[in-house]
Amino acid sequence: MKWLPCIGVLACLLLFAVPTHAQNKITVKGVVKDNAQQTAMQGVTVSTSKPSKTIATTDANGAFTVTIDAGAELVFTHSGYAAVRKTFMASTSSVSITMSVKDNTMQEVVIQGFRQKTKETATGSSAVISGKALQDVPVSNVVELLQGKVAGLNVQNNSGSPGGMGTINLRGVSSINVSSDGFLTPTSPLFVIDGVPVDLNTNYEYGFQGGGAGINPLALIPPEDIEQMEVLRDAAATSVYGARAAYGVIIVTTRRGKSKVPIVQYSTNFFVKAPPRLRDVIGGKEERLFRIRTILDYDTSAAAAQALINQTPFLSDSLNPYYNNATNWQDYFYRTTYNQQHNLSIRGGDDRFNYKTNLNYYQENGIVQNTGFKRYGLSMNAQYAPTNQLRVQMNLSSSLGQKQNGSGVGLIQTGIASGGSSSSLLPPPSLFSENNSALAASRVINNNKTANIATSLDISYEPIKGIRFGNLLSYNFISGTADRFTPSFLSNGSSESYSYNDRTYTLYNRSLINFTKTLYNLHNLNAYVFNEINTYGFQANVISLDRTANDQITGPIGYGWASSRGGTLNNIRETRQHGYGGSVSYNYDRKYVLDFNFRFDGLSTTGSKQPYSQNPSVSARWNFNREKWLEKVSWLSYGSARVSWGRNIKPTGSIFDTYGRYIVGLPYNNNPTVAIDYATVPNENFLPETQTQTNGGVEVGLFNNALQLTYETYYRSIDNQIMRIQLANTSGFNELQTNAVSLVNYGMEWSAMMRMFKQSKPFQWTLSVNGAINKQILTKLPDNLRQIRQEITDGGSNVPIVYRIGRSAISNLIYHTQGVYANTGDVPVNIATGKRQQLGSGTGYYFQGGDPRWTDVNGDYIIDEKDLLPIGNPIPKVTGGILSQMQYKNFQLNINASYTLFRDLLNASLSQTMQNFSRPTTPGALVPIDQYNYWKPSAFDKGSGTPNAQYPNPFDFRRAGVMQPFRSNQTLFLEDGSYWKINNVVLAYNLDRKMISRLHMTSCRLTLTVNNVYTFSNYSGPDPELVTQLGRDNSGGYPNARSYAVGLNVQF
Amino acid sequence: MNKKIQKVVRKRRYYMLAVAVLLAASACKKYLPKERETVGADSQYTIDTYQPVLGRTTFFTDNFYQGSTTYPSDFKIVNPRRRNGDPAPELTDVFPVMVWKEAYDGTEKSVAEIEAKRVKQYRPLFEIGPHSGAFTMWAEARSAFVRSQPDSGYLFDVELSNSGGRRYYRNIKLMPLKERPYEPSNYNASTGQPVSNGVYASVVTNIKGANTNRYLSYNDVDVYIRKIVKAGVPATNTLTFRFLDTLYNPIDPAKFAETDWNNLVHGFEKQITATGVTYKMAYPIPAVEVPTRFTTSDGRRAKTRFSYSRLGFNGGRETAVLGLDFAIYEPGDWEIVFAFKNDNPKFTND
C-alpha cells in the first residue's frame, strides 16, 4: 500500500489539471485536400505535435473532427506528401487543409542495396519515376512510357507490336554481339518487380527467333498498378544485385494499401488506334504504262523492248487476270482498331496490416490485321507487422497474356512487308490468286499465350534492437504457348500445324543480417551480410506437323511425316548463381556518407578455374548544404556531391562454352554412340562479363526546391564480352568462345525540374528536362585484331558491320556516295589502261552517266569490296525528354516529349523502293518518283543528263542487276536519324467534389489522351524510331500507331 | 522567374563550375584507344615476280591480298635495285609517258580526237598505285635502257603504311621481257628474236584454192606484220593491209568485195589502191583494251575480217572470210601482209 500516497498526489494533480485546461478544449472540424488535384484526401493522419500522438484520420471525404487543447499544433501527415502543421486557438468547423506532394527529392525513398533509404543518404545514382507519370496513357507495355523520362535510359519503341517491347538501354549499348540476322544482343536493365527479378536478356529474344509467344514479360504488368519505378544507374547502386545487374536495375514497386479506410479505385480507358499515314503508290494503268515506258526507254534495242513487253503478260496480255488491276495492298493489311482497358484496385490498411488487390484487363487489336494482345491480371500484396520487430510482406501476382501475331513472329511482319509492297497490278487477295500474303496475314490461325505467376515473401525479424534478420524468397514462373495453323490453301496445298510451349522459372532467395547503430545522434552505422541463390531454367518444346488431313483437322500427325518435326529446342538453359557478401554504410550526421560493398559471385556458366568473381564497390556522398558555411545561403535548398566506383558481372555464354558438349554420334557396329562435339572447344577460363563503372554526380535544389538540378557523369568499361574465334583446324575443334572484347561507355546526364509558380498559386506549371550524352568506344578485340567484319543477313539491307577499335561499338560497312555522274565523261579513267572506272574486276560494267559516284578508296579504278568504309554510328549519342505538367484548378495538362539525336540510319526501305523501278517485269510496288531528284538523260544523248542529281538513274534495268545503283550499303541511304517526338498529351479534369459526393465517390477524373502524337524529323523514311538497333530501316517492322483515348478514373 | 534566380544566373563563377565539370567528363577520353587503320599480318602480295613486256603499258592489278588491312592505305616502292644491288635510276627517273585522261570508246571520228584523250606526263617507268598497290609498267620503257630477260632484272620493296603502322614487303622481283611490238607474235619472249617467218591468220573460211580447188587452211596463209621505216622520212602512223599471191604479186583488195572497209579498223582517211588499203591510225591498236566494234569481244585485239562471196560448185553462195585478230603496240607505219603461199584464192564462180 505504499503506492497510495503517490496515487493521491496524482489524483490531486489531475484535479487541478483538468479544470484549468478543460475550459480551453476546442473542436476542430475540417477537410484535407490535395493541392494538385483538389480532391479530398482520405487516410491523412492527424496528430498532435507535442506529444506526438495520432488522434484521427480523415474519412473518405477527407473530413476530420478532433478535440484538442486551444493553442495546440496539429500535424497532418500522409505518405508522399509534405507534412502540414497548423496551430488552432479556437474551435472551428470549416478548416481547409491543403497538402502538396513532397517535392524535396532528398526525402524521396530510394531502394539501394536491398534497403530503403532516403535519397539524402544514398550514395548511388538513381532516378525515381512516380507511378502517376505512367498512368492515363493506355499502352500494352509500360516500358513504352519510360521513353524520355529518365536521363540515361534510352528507350526506343522500335516496334508497335502489341505486347512486344522496343529496346531499352541504360547508359548506352553494352554489347557488340550481333546475331547473324542483324539483331544486337539485348542489354536491358534487370527489372525487379516487387522483389522478383525479371531478366529480359536471358531468354526473351524480342520475339525474333521464330519460336515463342512473343509476349514480353513486362507487358504483363498493368501500368495502373505501379506505385513507382526506380532506375539504378551506377555500380554502387546496383552492386548488391550482383550478377545480371551489370546493365543497371529498374525496381518496380506496385501499389500498397496505406489508408485506414479502404479505397476502391476503378479506372478505364477506351482508345482508338489509327495506322500511320501509308505511303503513296502508283496504281493501275498508270503503273502499267510506267513499266512499259521504262522498258521502251532503256532496253538495249527497240526489238528487245517489244519482245520483253510481250513476254510479260501482266503488262501486255489484256485477257490475263493479272492485267488491269488496281489493288491497294496496304489497305488489306492496316486497320483502325477500338480497344479498351479496365483496372480495379482495392486497397487499404496501415503500417501494421495493409493489403491490395488489383484486377486488370487490357485488350488491344493491332493495326495490322490478325494481330492483337490481351492481358488479364490479378495481383495482390499484403504486409503484416504484428509488432515492430516482425514484419511479413508478401506479393502474389498472376497474369495471362494472349497474342495474335498474324503472319509474322511478333515484331517482324515479313508477310506484310512483302505483301504491302506488291504491285497494284496483282489481283486482290483471294483463294485463287497467287499472292496470298495478305490472305495469310488474316487467315493464319494463331494463338499465343503467356501465363506468369510471380510470388515473393519477405520476412524480417529484429530480436535485439539494431540487429534484424531478413529473408526474401521469390519464385517466378512463366509458361508460354504458341499455336499456329496455316491452312493448305495458303501454303501451296500443304497445311502446316505448329505448336510450341515453353517453361521458365526463376527461384531466388536472399538471407540478410542487418545491423544498425546510431551513436551520439551523429554517427550512423549500418552493416549487413547476405547470402543469395538464384536458379533459372528454361525449356521449349515444339511440334511441327506438315500436311495434316485437311484444313479442319490439325493433327494428330501429318502425312508429310518426312518434314514433320518435334522435340526440345536447343535453347534449353539451366543456370545457377550463388552470391554472398557484405556492406558497410556510415554517415556522419547525414552530412558525409560512405558506403562499402563487397560480394562474391559464383555462376554455373563460369569456367572451373575461377568460379567466383569478386565485386567490390565504394561510394561516398557529401551533402554540402548541411555545412555551416552554407547554412546561411537561403536559396540553396539542398546540395550534394556523389562519387562511386564499383564492379558488377553479367553471366554470358552457356554452360557448353565452359564444359563442352556431348552429342549423338554416328552408329558404331549398329550401336548408337555418344561423341564429343567438336564445334566449340571447352574453355575452362571462361569468365562472366564484367562491368566496371565510375560515377560522379551533383544534385542541387534551389529557391525552395523551385529549381532542382542533377548532373551525372560516368565512365564504364564492359570487359570479358564474348566473341567466338575460329581455331586452326589442327586443334581438332572449330571455335573457341573467348572473353576478349571490351567496350567503354562514357558520358553525362543532366536533369532539371523547374516549378514556375509558387505552390500556393492556382496555376501550376512544372517543367522537367533531362538529357544524356553517351559515347562508346570499342577498346579490345580477340587476337589483338584492330578490326573484325561480320556479315549480316537481315533480309533487308544485308550490310555487313564492322567492329573497329577506337570507333563506336558498331559501324556499317558501306560505300561512300558522292552524288551521281552527270555525264559519262565525268567518270574517272585509268591513266594506264584508258578504261573508265568499272564495277568489280573484269565484269565489263563500266560506270557511265546516271550511275552513282562511289569513292574509289584504293584508287584502282575498280569499285569493289575494298572500297567499303566504316561510316556512321547507328547508336544515338544524345537522348532525353521534356515533361511539362500544367494545372489550373481542376484541369491538368501533361505533355511528354522525348528526343533522340545524332544517330545514323540506313534507309534500306527507300533502297528497296527505288530498286523496284529497275525491275519493270517484277510486280513490286512503285511509288510516285517525281518527289525524288533522280538523274534523267538529256533528250539527245543518253550519256549525259541531270546535273547534281541526288539519286542515280533508277530505270536502267538492263544494267541494274549488276550495277545495283540503289544498293543499300552506301551513304546515299545513310541519313541523320535524329528526331523529336511528342510522346503523349494528357488532358485531365477532376470533377467537383460536391457534385460527386452525391454519388458517394471521393474522386472522379476524366482524361483525354493522345499517345504517339507526332515525330519531328528530317529522316525521309516513315519513322526514324522504327529501325533496328543497327540503325536499319528494313521496312519489315510493325509501325507505331497513334492512339486517342478517353479515360475515367473513379475512386470510392 | 524571380529576381533571386536572375541574380544567380548572372554570376559567372557558376558557369566556371559547369565548364570544370564538363572538362572533367571529357578528360577520360585520352586514355581510350584512338581509331586507327590496320596493317594486317595476313596481307600479302599474291604475285612476287612481275614480267611485263616492254614497249607496252602493262597494268598489274588484283595482285595484293587485302586481308585484314584497312583502306585507305599508302603504298610506296622502296629501294628499287638491280639484282647485284646497284641502284636502278632507270626505274626511278621520270620519263615522258602517254597517259589517258578521257575514256576511249571506239566512237572517235578522227585521230586527233583520239589523241586529244591522252596527254604526255612525266612519270617513272615503273609505278605503284599509291593506294592500291597495283603496278604499272609504261610503254615507254624499252630494252635499250631497261634490263630485260634473260637478265634477272630488278628487286624492289614495297612499303605499306596507314595510321595503324607500316610494313615492308621485301624483294619483289621485276623481270621485264623484251619488246614484242605486235601480237600474235613470232618473237621469242625472252630473247626477243623471231622464231618463225610469219604468224597465222585468225580466220580462214571458205576460201577455195584457185588451182587445187580445195578449201585453204591456216597453213596456206602466212601473215607478216612489219614496220616500214623509210630513212629520213618521219613516220606518219599508218596501217596498210596487203594481199599477195603465191608469186608474191599483189592481189587487188577490191577482190575482197564484201569487206566492210569503212569499219575494218578504227582508222581514218582510208586509201584503197590496187595493192593495198591504208588507214591513218592512233597507236597502239587497239587503243584501249575495251570491247568496241573494231575489236574482239574481250577488247584485247583489233578484229579485221576480209571477205568475198562466190557461187560454189552446186550453185550455193559461199562467203569466204579471211581474218586476223591482232594488236600493235608501237607507233609507226605498219603493214600487215597476207601471203597465200600454197595456192591463190579463187574469186570466180564455179
CA pair distance B280, B87, nearest whole angstrom: 42
Residues 6+ apart with CB under 8 A from A972: A817, A852, A950, A951, A966
pLDDT at B290: 86
**Cα torsion through B194, B197, B199, B205, rounded to 10:** -170
Q: Is B19 on the interface with A (CB under 8 A)?
A: no
Contact A635 B4 (CB under 8 A): yes
State the best of A787, A789, A815, A944 to mutate against chain B, taking most chain B CBs within 10 Å.
Answer: A787
User: For the residues A1028-1039, what does the mean pLDDT come to?
Assistant: 77
Model confidence at A132: pLDDT above 90: no
Which range is least confidently modeled, A383-392, A566-575, A860-869, A899-908? A566-575
In chain A, the residue whose alpha carbon lies closest to the alpha carbon of B41 is A785
Which residues in chain B have Cβ-Cβ distances shorter than 8 Å to A871? none
Contact B68 A829 (CB under 8 A): no
CA pair distance A204, A307, nearest whole angstrom: 53
Q: Do A606 and A739 belong together in one domain?
A: yes
Q: Do A252 and A161 belong together in one domain?
A: yes
| Phi–psi pair at A567, nearest 5 degrees | 140, -170
Model confidence at A52: pLDDT above 80: no
Write the CATH number for A75: 2.60.40.1120
Contact B33 A866 (CB under 8 A): no
Which range is least confidently modeled, A219-233, A423-437, A733-747? A423-437
Mean of per-residue pLDDT scores for chain A: 83
Contact B61 A862 (CB under 8 A): yes
Q: Where are the beta strands (DSSP E) in A6-146?
A: 25-34, 45-48, 53-57, 63-69, 72-77, 84-88, 92-99, 109-112, 115-118, 126-130
Q: Are strands A869-871 and A845-846 parallel, antiparallel or unpaired?
A: unpaired
Cell of B217: 587452211
Q: Is B68 on the interface with A (CB under 8 A)?
A: yes
Query: What burial class does residue B85 get, using C-beta atoms within 10 Å of its C-beta: 0-12 exposed, 13-18 middle, 19+ buried?
Result: exposed
Contact B100 A696 (CB under 8 A): no
Number of domains in chain A: 3
A533 is in which domain, residue-wise? Answer: 142-256+335-788+995-1051
pLDDT in tens, B79-130: 899 988 888 888 888 889 888 888 888 888 888 888 888 899 998 988 998 9
Q: Is A902 on the interface with B (CB under 8 A)?
A: no
pLDDT in tens, A997-1019: 888 888 888 999 999 889 898 88
Q: Is A51 on the interface with B (CB under 8 A)?
A: no
Answer whether A595's CB lies under 8 Å from A620's CB.
Answer: yes
The domain segmentation of chain B, as residue ranges, is: 46-174, 182-340
Model confidence at A365: pLDDT above 50: yes
User: For the residues A937-948, what does the mean pLDDT come to?
Assistant: 83
User: For the residues A330-349, what does the mean pLDDT come to?
Assistant: 88
Model confidence at A557: pLDDT above 80: no
Which residues in chain A have Cβ-Cβ distances shorter than 8 Å to B290? 834-835, 846
Which range is least confidently modeled, A469-473, A822-826, B17-21, B198-202? B17-21
pLDDT in tens, A791-850: 887 666 678 888 988 888 888 888 999 989 988 888 888 888 888 888 888 788 888 888
**CA of B173, closest CA in chain A: separation in Å?**
21
Q: Is A748 on the interface with B (CB under 8 A)?
A: yes
Contact B164 A785 (CB under 8 A): no
| Phi–psi pair at A672, nearest 5 degrees | -65, 150
**CA of A588, closest CA in chain B: separation in Å?**
26
pLDDT in tens, A966-1002: 888 889 988 898 999 999 999 999 888 778 888 888 8
Confidence of residue A466 (pLDDT cuts 50, 70, 90): confident
Of A325, A350, A380, the domain-final residue? A325
pLDDT at A1008: 93
Contact A713 B289 (CB under 8 A): no
Write the CATH number for A1044: 2.40.170
Confidence of residue A47 (pLDDT cuts 50, 70, 90): confident
User: For the residues B156-178, what does the mean pLDDT come to?
Assistant: 90
Answer whether B64's CB lies under 8 Å from B71's CB.
Answer: no
Model confidence at B20: pLDDT above 70: no
Q: Do A400 and A288 belong together in one domain?
A: no
Model confidence at B28: pLDDT above 60: no
Which residues in chain B have Cβ-Cβ distances shorter than 8 Å to A836? 103
Q: Is B62 on the interface with A (CB under 8 A)?
A: yes
Considering the domain boundaries, does residue A124 fall inside one? no
Q: Do A308 and A358 belong together in one domain?
A: no
In which residue are the cell numbers 578490326 written? A787
Answer whether A181's CB lies under 8 Å from A1032's CB.
Answer: no
pLDDT at B4: 53
Contact B103 A844 (CB under 8 A): no
Model confidence at A786: pLDDT above 60: yes
Q: Are strands A573-588 and A565-568 parallel, antiparallel or unpaired?
A: unpaired
CA atoms within 13 A on the CB side of A358: 28
Which residues in chain A have Cβ-Cβ distances shorter than 8 Å to B289? 833-835
Q: Is B270 on the interface with A (CB under 8 A)?
A: no
pLDDT at A1010: 92
Q: Do A430 and A318 belong together in one domain?
A: no
Model confidence at A23: pLDDT above 60: no
Closest to A829 (Cβ–Cβ): which among B29, B35, B100?
Answer: B100
pLDDT at A17: 43
Contact B4 A807 (CB under 8 A): no
Closest to A713 (Cβ–Cβ): which among B25, B71, B287?
Answer: B25
User: For the residues A256-265, what does the mean pLDDT come to?
Assistant: 85
In chain A, the residue whose alpha carbon lies closest to the alpha carbon of B36 is A806
Model confidence at A698: pLDDT above 80: yes
Contact B129 A859 (CB under 8 A): yes
State the best of B61, B163, B283, B296 to mutate against chain A, taking most chain A CBs within 10 Å.
Answer: B61
Considering the domain boundaries, does residue A931 fall inside one? no
Considering the domain boundaries, does residue A709 fall inside one? yes
pLDDT at A897: 93
Helix residue ranges, H only, A312-372 = 313-316, 329-333
CA pair distance A295, A284, nearest whole angstrom: 17
Q: Do A776 and A649 belong together in one domain?
A: yes
Q: Do A80 and A159 belong together in one domain?
A: no
Contact A834 B61 (CB under 8 A): no
**CA of B227, closest CA in chain A: separation in Å?**
24
Q: Provide the chain B residues 319-348 that lie in CB contact (below 8 A) with chain A.
A: none
CA pair distance A867, B63, nearest whole angstrom: 16
Confidence of residue A378 (pLDDT cuts 50, 70, 90): very high
pLDDT at A205: 47
Q: Is A762 on the interface with B (CB under 8 A)?
A: no
pLDDT at A268: 92
Which residues in chain B have Cβ-Cβ distances shorter than 8 Å to A833? 57, 59, 100, 288-289
Q: Is A859 on the interface with B (CB under 8 A)?
A: yes
Considering the domain boundaries, does residue A127 fall inside one? no
Which range is least confidently modeled, A57-66, A184-193, A204-213, B70-79? A204-213
CA pair distance B283, B295, nearest whole angstrom: 14
CA pair distance A718, A741, nearest whole angstrom: 8
Contact A830 B100 (CB under 8 A): yes
pLDDT in tens, A400-424: 988 887 765 544 555 555 556 777 8
Model confidence at A271: pLDDT above 50: yes
Contact B35 A806 (CB under 8 A): yes
pLDDT at A477: 92
Q: Where are the beta strands (DSSP E) in A366-494?
A: 371-384, 390-405, 445-464, 467-486
Confidence of residue A338 (pLDDT cuts 50, 70, 90): very high
pLDDT at A140: 85
Higher pLDDT, A53 or B7: A53
| pTM of the model as a whole | 0.81
pLDDT at A112: 55
Considering the domain boundaries, does residue A890 fall inside one? no
Counting one residue from chain A and one from chain B, the pairs whose CB atoms sit within 8 A come to: 117
Q: Do A79 and A187 belong together in one domain?
A: no
Q: Provide the chain B residues 110-149 that lie in CB contact (below 8 A) with chain A.
A: 117-118, 121, 129-134, 136, 138
Q: Is B109 on the interface with A (CB under 8 A)?
A: no
pLDDT in tens, B224-277: 988 888 888 888 888 899 999 888 888 888 888 888 888 888 888 888 888 889
Mean of per-residue pLDDT scores for chain B: 85
**CA of B126, closest CA in chain A: separation in Å?**
11
Contact A866 B71 (CB under 8 A): yes
Confidence of residue A1 (pLDDT cuts 50, 70, 90): very low
Q: Do A307 and A189 belong together in one domain?
A: no
Contact A746 B29 (CB under 8 A): yes
**Cα torsion through A861, A864, A865, A869, rounded to 10:** 60
Contact B38 A832 (CB under 8 A): no
Contact A825 B99 (CB under 8 A): no
**CA of B30, closest CA in chain A: separation in Å?**
11
Number of H helices, E strands in chain B: 4, 20
DSSP A795-859: SS----EEEETTS-S-EEEEB-EEEE-SBGGGS-B-TTT-PBPEESTTS-EE--TTSEEE--TT-
Q: Do A424 and A507 belong together in one domain?
A: yes
User: For the residues A450-471, what does the mean pLDDT come to?
Assistant: 90
